[in-house]
A and B are shown apart, each in its own frame.
Chain A
Amino acid sequence: MRLLTHNMLSSNIKGVTNGFPLLIEVEKVVEKQVDFNEDFLRNMFPKIEWKALVEASRTMGYTELPENAESSMLDSDEFLRKFHHALIELHLEEGALVCPETGRKFPVNKGIPNMLLHEDEV
């Protein structure tokens, strides 16, 4: 699971009002190289919850992202590279996503988060 995905997901258990961002329990992180595409990053930037991305990347052991970001920073190549790396190259291979409200764990196995709800959560 890349952090782009993490930035999109929330716990959708019935009754949970604040399911975002999910906490990350790390067992194994791998880096997967992705071709750099500036247009893609520019398109994604305004849709990303920056705080959640910074927190998540730190949990995954990457501390290079600045605390705050604004669109003018997209002109810096250095910033774009960091953003690219954190958003789509860090990959949670094994671990779990944890609902911030209920503590329910959504397991991540072989890079695939299982967001399916149990019967009593629908």
Chain B
Amino acid sequence: MWYLCVFYHRLLEYRKPEFESLAGLFGAFDGTTTGLLEWKLPEDHHPDSPFHFVNIPSEEIARNIASRSILVKGIYELWGDGQSFEELEEAVKSYPDERKLPYLSRDSTFKINVESFGKVISFEEQNNRLQKLAFVPFKGRVNLKKPDHNFFLMDNDDYGSENGLPPIVHRRIFFGREIGTADRKILQTYQLKSRKYLGPTAMDAEMAFLMANQAQVRTGKLVYDPFVGTGSILIAAAHFGAMTMGADIDIRVVRDGRGPDCNVWSNFKQYGLPMPLSLLRADNNLPPWRSGLKEMFDAIICDPPYGVRAGGRKSGGRKLLKGVVAPYTVPDDKRTGHIPSTAPYSLVECVHDLLDLAARMLVTGGRLVYFYPVLRDNESVDPNFPEHPCFKLVASCEQILSYRYSRVLLTMIKIAPYTEDIAEAARIKHLEFKENHLKWLEDGNLRSAVFEPADIHINGSSDAKFGTKPKYRGKYV
């Protein structure tokens, strides 16, 4: 059945992929394998509009999607829409009675929400609009606190340009019954500013929950984050009931934190979430898994260090990997408490290791969800995302971070088993990385591209680019 889905006007590219991941989680695709839903736009609506029609097999699935989602404001059974109240009345009247009457009965309570996308409407205007709904034969009583049925009256009227919202061709009014809405209160509960233990790159709550939704996290699943840091991603996974495991090369992060009650464990305690099954100090470049171990995790979710805000590290000193010095032999009496040296870990190598780990350690059908940085200086060229024979890329959602670069959330599904051939190819690649250590570091030098000063004075056109605010900002929201 077709429903009206209204999104929050945020993170535009993340909206449909989140919806479809949750649809998969709640069984909308049983029997099919596409993982894609049918979508339609209301007449003359911009693709970035918050209003979309979507085909979902059942009301129950729709309700589950809405209440779990972060970006769905609500899913509604549309009773009618039109460019004016006259058109709306006609549409609602011709909507079949057997779909309407059960929700209008005498013994039920109801509430009507009146909203307008892109602007605030006064209480008086809300009342005016409610009066115009007199043609709907409501028999029940109004209950604003706990109604049996919620209805909504929403429109997108002309709100002028220059406000960063998608352009509107003409007004459209929607009326219908609410099926479910998102619970964005969890974002307040988990907001970073009230979290005890934070690092410089802690993932904000909204994004962490979106990542957990992309990964289809649910009760009893095992989720792993190889760059766990302060645990911000695993906290979202644990909130949805997953068992969690995390690793990090930096012991300050995983163990000491900032004292006995300010560390990764305490972050889970703060929210009353189950503790991670395992935290471990390990190097993603030389993972300590036993041979033969595979297909342990249902999802791997992470924000790899790509060297802009936090740089990756791996085992082995810089000079050691360059071949300038022989490995330092640790004297026997100093082995306990010895802090081994680490070297920079380039993005290409890091992503290679991540894909190899995921190919081996994910169950078939398991999901790898991670951020990948892209430079924005060449907008016409589609960036090449990492590929792997075991994986299919199902979603790539861009979030613009600065004028120079974005990060793209990639969602990949494991579709083929990890074979000996693939393992061997990965081993050879690993050795190649070791040999060309410096070359890969140069190649992966994203940081200098991001922070290099702009030539505003030499290139006259840049002034214009910075000077005027674009009329419609699209993905910036």
- Interface set of A (CB-CB < 8 Å, partner B): 1-2, 4-5, 8-12, 19-21, 32, 34-35, 37, 39-40, 43-44, 47, 49, 88, 104-105, 107, 109-120, 122
The segment from B67-75, B247-255, B464-472 found at the interface with A is B247-255
Interface contact B281-A115, CB-CB below 8 Å: yes
- Interface set of B (CB-CB < 8 Å, partner A): 219-222, 243, 245, 249, 251, 254-255, 265, 274-275, 277-283, 286-291, 293-296, 315-317, 320, 327-330, 335-336, 338, 340-341
Bound CA–CA A107/B294 (angstroms) = 25
17 contacts between A and B (CB under 8 A): A5-B277, A5-B278, A9-B289, A10-B288, A21-B290, A34-B243, A34-B277, A37-B243, A40-B222, A47-B294, A88-B277, A111-B279, A112-B281, A116-B281, A118-B335, A119-B320, A120-B328
Which residues from chain B contact A110 at a C-beta distance below 8 Å?
255, 265
Q: How far is the CB of B189 from chain A (nearest CB, A)?
A: 20
Which 4 residue pairs of A and B lie closest in terms of their CB atoms, listed nearest first? A10-B290, A5-B278, A20-B290, A115-B288
Q: How far is the CB of B226 from chain A (nearest CB, A)?
A: 12
Closest to A33 in B: B274
Q: Among A12, A19, A32, A37, find the residue whose CB has the most chain B CB atoms closer than 10 A.
A: A12
Q: How far is the CB of A47 from chain B (nearest CB, A)?
A: 6
Q: How far is the CB of B427 from chain A (nearest CB, A)?
A: 13
Which residues from chain A contact B291 at a C-beta distance below 8 Å?
10, 20
Interface contact B255-A119, CB-CB below 8 Å: no
Interface contact A5-B327, CB-CB below 8 Å: no
* Given A40-B221, A47-B296, A119-B317, 11 more pairs with CB closer than 8 A: A32-B275, A35-B274, A88-B243, A107-B336, A116-B282, A116-B315, A117-B283, A117-B340, A118-B335, A118-B340, A122-B316
Bound CA–CA A110/B317 (angstroms) = 27
Closest to A37 in B: B220
Interface contact A5-B275, CB-CB below 8 Å: no
Which residues from chain A contact B243 at a C-beta distance below 8 Å?
34, 37, 40, 88
Bound CA–CA A104/B335 (angstroms) = 9
Closest to B285 in A: A122
Closest to A113 in B: B280
Which residues from chain B contact A49 at a C-beta distance below 8 Å?
290
Cβ 8 A contact of A120, one of B278, B280, B329: B329
Interface contact A112-B279, CB-CB below 8 Å: yes
Bound CA–CA A58/B209 (angstroms) = 39
Interface of B, secondary structure class, is loop
Which residues from chain A contact B251 at a C-beta distance below 8 Å?
112, 114, 116
Q: How far is the CB of B337 from chain A (nearest CB, A)?
A: 9
Q: How far is the CB of B324 from chain A (nearest CB, A)?
A: 13
Which residues from chain A contact B320 at a C-beta distance below 8 Å?
119, 122
Interface contact B283-A116, CB-CB below 8 Å: yes
Bound CA–CA A40/B296 (angstroms) = 11
Which residues from chain B contact A11 at a C-beta distance below 8 Å?
288
Closest to B264 in A: A112
Bound CA–CA A119/B328 (angstroms) = 6
Bound CA–CA A88/B255 (angstroms) = 20
Given A5-B245, A34-B274, A40-B220, verify A122-B286 contact (CB < 8 Å): yes
Bound CA–CA A5/B288 (angstroms) = 11
Q: Among B274, B281, B335, find the residue whose CB has the most chain A CB atoms closer than 10 A.
A: B281
Bound CA–CA A1/B277 (angstroms) = 8
Closest to B281 in A: A114
Interface contact B340-A1, CB-CB below 8 Å: no
Interface contact B280-A112, CB-CB below 8 Å: yes
Which residues from chain A contact B296 at a C-beta distance below 8 Å?
8, 47
Bound CA–CA A93/B31 (angstroms) = 46
Q: How far is the CB of A41 from chain B (nearest CB, A)?
A: 9
Q: How far is the CB of A88 from chain B (nearest CB, A)?
A: 6
Cβ 8 A contact of A37, one of B219, B265, B290: B219
Bound CA–CA A40/B274 (angstroms) = 15
Bound CA–CA A74/B175 (angstroms) = 52
Interface contact A2-B277, CB-CB below 8 Å: yes
Interface contact B254-A112, CB-CB below 8 Å: yes
Interface contact B249-A116, CB-CB below 8 Å: yes
Q: How far is the CB of A52 from chain B (nearest CB, A)?
A: 9
Q: How far is the CB of B179 from chain A (nearest CB, A)?
A: 28
Interface contact A109-B255, CB-CB below 8 Å: yes
Which residues from chain A contact B327 at a C-beta distance below 8 Å?
119-120, 122
Closest to A21 in B: B290
Q: How far is the CB of B50 from chain A (nearest CB, A)?
A: 37
Bound CA–CA A110/B251 (angstroms) = 11
Which residues from chain A contact B282 at a C-beta distance below 8 Å?
115-116
Cβ 8 A contact of A12, one of B281, B288, B340: B288
Interface contact B287-A12, CB-CB below 8 Å: yes
Interface contact B278-A119, CB-CB below 8 Å: no
Which residues from chain B contact A2 at a C-beta distance below 8 Å?
277-278
